[in-house]
Structure 1
Amino acid sequence: MTGYGRVSNSFDDKVINVEVRSLNSKYTDIRVKIPQNYKEKEHELRKIVSDKALRGKIEITIEVETGNGGDEYGLNEALFRRYHQELSRLTNELQIPTADMLQAILRLPNVVGAAADTIDDKEWAAVHKTVDGALAKFTEFRTVEGNALKEDLLLRVNNIASLLARLDPEEEERITKLRQRMRQSLEEHLGKDKVDDNRFEQEILFYLEKIDITEEKVRLEQHCKYFIEELEKQQPLKGRKLSFISQEMGREINTMGAKAYSSNIQKLVVEMKDELEKIKEQVANTV
């Protein structure tokens, strides 16, 4: 699910800004944007983020500003001079305009880098604290979104349960209509006196057994209850299990639709499918 958190803290003459944001993803994909002198801590930083953010396409950005408001970066003057010397020679020889040479050199690797090569323990402790703060806000953002998502999912599942309860009277009427239609068809083709009532009842029972949806209704009701139970649990990473349950719900609904032989039941099945599709869309966004 989506999430966002940003925190700024001061350390000596610096301001450390940490921003964490995420987009929906089935897997954990962490992108890190940090100053060059923090690279040695990247592995540790990734673990901190993965432990607390759990899942999603997550991007963490750390920016360090100096006391004068500028970024904590320095210029490699020796390398800049070498690039400038060589590029000036080539531009003179090849008669190439030099209008954008400055910007071109600044974009070359290692010309602009962090002012320090490493980070000391005190500064890393300050960064760690700031990262924790940003992740706390990030989690709070997700919690608010998750609660809204939970309410919507509960609404959709309860809607399916309500539609399921409306099937019983429709199914009784369906059986009565099927019996009457089959009886009328036999009498029209064979004549009323030639219809064997016992054989007719046997065939009716066999046919009704094939289109009976009692088992599907029971299983769908259980799936709905199970879905709500899992949704109410106070634990992370429930999205995959909810996805599996919704797939099972879909199987039962599809089977009922295939056995319906009733326009009214088909309409209820279509409404169930509509609610289920909304559930699947929302579940894909859960952690």
Structure 2
Amino acid sequence: MIQSMTGYGKTVLQISTKKITIELKSLNSKNLDLNVRIPPYYREKELDIRKKLATTLVRGKVDFSIFIENNEGEASSKINEIVVKEYMNQLKTIVDSNEIELLKMAIRLPDSLKTEREELDENEWEQIENSINETIHKINKYRIDEGVSMQTDFNLRISLIEELLEKVIEIDPKRIAHVKEKIQKSIAELETKIDESRFEQELIYYIEKLDITEEKVRLKNHLDYFKKELQKTTSNGKKLGFITQEIGREINTIGSKSNFADMQKLVVQMKDELEKIKEQNLNIL
């Protein structure tokens, strides 16, 4: 079953005084383009997160974020009392001011505030890791659901190309007759004698050059192959892309050989449906 590279997953976790939000988004990309944003005290787990995401999401432009909200509003920075008092003592020797003014000046000076680094709690991380797994599950479900819709559209487009191919097969004898008639009419307009035997040989040679039997067979095989790939349990957008290229090659060859307006119209319609498939296929995992 095919999967889309587009997906979204979000999980909110409440731990003690913390509200932790884990968010995962993905868009289409030729390879895995991974962007991870996490708080500094989880940095030691970043490599594990990247490995997990690379293994489960495989391909796409992926943004992973962990947001922390302290419910009690605890400040991450605290006043460095020793440094501030030392600044105030020094300021007293050079300015004549009261304690409040000295404090205002001291608090603006370097190292007046200190940031306490929160250490990683392994029990807390275990809960976060479970939430990460849940978020990955959500984005994968999103991708699968998107894939189901895209598969329905692919089957519709392939069916339309098959119908157009049947019409090409149906009018092909008429096309050959039209080409023969056109050549014979051009010869007649020259009002000159020709070797009928030689003319017939040249005509057969020319008609053989316009023969599209092989292209019709190969195109039908490629369309069947595409449909079989859609039914497989694994999603392989790159392989579907290769098959799409082969389908396009056969359609183009039929168009270049057609030399018949009715058939060229059908070829244009096939190309239109194929372009829609190509555009959709860019988003397949």
> Shorter-chain TM-score: what band?
0.7 to 0.9
Q: Quick one: distance in 2 between partners of 1:266 and 1:218? A: 18
> Corresponding residue for 1:200?
199
Question: Matched residue of 1:277: which SS?
Answer: helix
Q: Structure 2: which amino acid aligns with 1:75?
A: S
* Alignment equivalent of 1:21, drawn from 20, 25, 35: 25
1-side partners of 2:197 and 2:12: how far apart?
84
Which amino acid is the alignment partner of residue 179 of structure 2? L
* Residues 193-245 of structure 1: per-residue CA shift (max 9 Å, x gap): x4433222211110011111111111111111111111111103x11001111
| Residue pair 1:73, 1:114 contacting (<8 A) in 2 also | no
Tell me if structure 1 keeps the 8 A contact 2:80–2:114.
no
1:274 corresponds to 2:272:
yes
Q: Is residue 65 of structure 1 aligned with residue 66 of structure 2?
A: no
The 5 A counterparts of 1:85-104 are none
Which amino acid in 2 is paired with 1:244? F
| Aligned partners of 1:256 and 1:269 also within 8 Å | yes
Q: 2: distance between equivalents of 1:181 and 1:114? A: 89
Map residues 1-287 of structure 1 onto 2, 5 A cutoff. Answer: 1-68=5-72, 74-75=76-77, 77-78=79-80, 115-116=117-118, 118-191=119-192, 194-236=193-235, 238-287=236-285
Which blocks of at least 5 consecutive residues in structure 2 are unaligned?
92-106
Comparing 126-135 and 2-11, the one that deviates more: 2-11
TM-score for both structures, normalised by structure 1: 0.82
Letter aligned with residue 138 of structure 1: I
1:168-198, CA deviations, whole angstroms, 9 ceiling, x for partnerless residues?
232111111111222222233245xx44332
In 2: Cα distance, 1:147 partner to 1:113 partner: 50
CA contact (8 A) 1:33 1:61 kept: yes
TM-score normalized with structure 2 length: 0.83
TM-aligned CA distance change 1:113 to 1:35, over 3 Å: farther
Q: Structure 1 CA distance, aligned partners of 2:34 and 2:40?
A: 18
Identity %: 40
RMSD: 2.6
Distance in 2, matches of 1:72 and 1:176, equals: 87
**Cα offset, 1:114, TM superposition:** 7.0
Check 1:199–1:148 CA distance in 2 against 1; reply closer, same or farther (3 A cut).
same
Shift of the alpha carbon at 1:77?
Answer: 4.0
SS at match of 2:76: strand
Higher-RCO chain (CA-CA 8 Å, sequence separation at least 6): 2
8 A contact 2:26–2:62 mirrored in 1: yes
Q: C-alpha separation between the residues in 1 aligned to 2:183 and 2:282?
A: 46
Residues 114 and 128 of structure 1, relative CA distance in 2, 3 Å threshold: farther
Once the two structures are superposed, what CA deviation does each residue of 1:12-66 show, in whole Å capped at 9, x if it has no partner?
Answer: 3323211101111111111111111001110101111111112111111112233
Structure of higher CA gyration radius: 2
Q: CA deviation at 1:78?
A: 4.3
Do 1:2 and 1:24's aligned partners in 2 also have CA atoms closer than 8 Å? yes
Say if 1:21 and 1:181 are closer, same or farther in 2 by CA, change over 3 A.
same
Letter in 2 for 1:243: G
